[in-house]
Amino acid sequence: MSVNPMKPRAWVTLLVSAVTGVLVWAFSPWLTGRQEPWDADSLFYVGAQIVAGTVAGAIAPRPLWAPYVGALTGQLGYALIFLRMGPLFFLGAAFLFGYTAIFLAAAALVGFVRKRMRSQSIPR
């Protein structure tokens, strides 16, 4: 019995979501002056999650679990690699699970709209 490998579409969605998630954290110091995007004085992190999720959903929205896993992996990976670990790391990781739901909601909404537009443009 062979193991069914993940479909290429899922890998693309994971990769796109991970990259857009990393970009949220990578651009935060330049855009907010803070190392961590949720430390900004504004709603930068919420807005950045919406923008990143929208971009990821427009490029590769399916399967639905992949944007969440990709964004979570990308953002957590960035924090582990580029930021100092402190006593609040696990609390921050828990917050990341919640904030990434915003990313997923944006990606799912854009994916739904994209699918509807595509189905309406096909001549019957």
Report pLDDT for 119: 80
Q: For the chain, first and last CA: distance in Å?
A: 41
pLDDT in tens, 3-49: 455 677 899 999 999 999 999 999 999 999 999 999 998 899 999 99
Nearest to residue 75, comparing CAs of 35, 12, 17? 17
Domain definitions of the chain by residue range:
20-81+88-115
How far apart CA 19 and CA 27 sit, in angstroms, is 12
Torsion 82-86-88-91 (CA) sign: positive
Is residue 59 within 8 Å of residue 51, measured between CB atoms? no
Contact residues for 7 (Cβ-Cβ < 8 A; gap 6+): 63
pLDDT at 27: 96
DSSP string, 14-64: HHHHHHHHHHHHHHHHHHHS-SSGGGSSSSHHHHHHHHHHHHHHHH---ST
How far apart CA 72 and CA 69 sit, in angstroms, is 5
Give the model's pLDDT for residue 2: 47
> What percent of the chain has pLDDT above 90?
74
Alpha carbons 105 and 123: distance in angstroms, whole number = 30
* pTM for the full predicted model: 0.86
